[in-house]
Every structure is written in structure tokens, then in C-alpha cells.
């Protein structure tokens, strides 16, 4: 099983504060992704990375930034959290398996009050 961990698992923060979510992998995979899951919307891509310092925007990138200074870590930052960013955030890695699928972390439940 691919080693991918997200931290924290749960967080409550106030509107307007910055928040950083961390995704850590032990598999040395090149591609990493951040998705958010919301009722009625499924999984939507926020940002992705295809290597150290190489990142790009996804479908719902407004209000989010990312950084990848090391292969193993992919950080998602909410510069100024809003209530609309209350969601469950999933990190994923794209492995070398023949099924071409992603392996997801366990998620971070973020509540912005």
C-alpha cells in the first residue's frame, strides 16, 4: 500500500486566518494532487504537482496556493480561509500501477467558522 499521510486530520479555523494542510508520501512519486470533496459536487481538483517546484491549477484553485519544495511533501495553503472552503480535502499520488489510478490519503476535514 502506498504511503501517503495527511495532516492534520481535522481542523477548525476562523474566517480570515491562513491554513496549511500537509500531504506526505514515502513512495517518491512524481505526481501529487489536492482535491476537495463536497456534497453534490463529488471530488474536484484544486491544484496538482508534476515535480519539485512544478505545480499547476485545477478546476477550483481560487483562494488556494500550493508548494512542493521536496518530492515527498505537497502543501495546500488557504491564504485567508472563508466559510466556502469548509470541506474535506484529499491528497492523492499517481503511482506506477498499470491501472493508472491514484492513491488517496485519508483526508483532512476542515471547518471554517
Partner 1 sequence: DQQVKQNSPSLSVQEGRISILNCDYTNSMFDYFLWYKKYPAEGPTFLISISSIKDKNEDGRFTVFLNKSAKHLSLHIVPSQPGDSAVYFCAAANYGGSQGNLIFGKGTKLSVKP
Footprint of partner 1 on this chain (CB under 8 A)?
Answer: 33, 35, 40-45, 48, 58, 90, 92, 99-107
Query: Which three cell numbers, joined as nine digits, stand for 38?
Result: 463536497
C-alpha count within 13 angstroms, C-beta hemisphere, residue 4: 25
**Closer residue to partner 1, CB minimum distance, 2 or 67:** 2
Shortest Å distance, C-beta 94 to partner 1: 8
**Closer residue to partner 1, CB minimum distance, 64 or 90:** 90
In whole angstroms, what is the distance from residue 97 CA to residue 65 CA? 29
**Closer residue to partner 1, CB minimum distance, 48 or 74:** 48
SS3 72: coil
Amino acid at each position: 500500500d502506498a504511503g501517503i499521510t495527511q495532516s492534520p486530520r481535522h481542523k477548525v479555523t476562523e474566517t480570515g486566518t491562513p491554513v496549511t494542510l500537509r500531504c506526505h508520501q514515502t513512495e517518491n512519486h512524481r505526481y501529487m494532487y489536492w482535491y476537495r470533496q463536497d456534497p453534490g459536487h463529488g471530488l474536484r481538483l484544486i491544484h496538482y504537482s508534476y515535480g519539485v517546484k512544478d505545480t499547476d491549477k485545477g478546476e477550483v484553485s481560487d483562494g488556494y496556493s500550493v508548494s512542493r519544495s521536496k518530492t515527498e511533501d505537497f502543501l495546500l495553503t488557504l491564504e485567508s480561509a472563508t466559510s466556502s472552503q469548509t470541506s474535506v480535502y484529499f491528497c492523492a499520488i499517481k503511482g506506477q500501477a498499470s491501472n493508472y489510478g491514484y492513491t488517496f490519503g485519508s483526508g483532512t476535514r476542515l471547518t471554517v467558522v
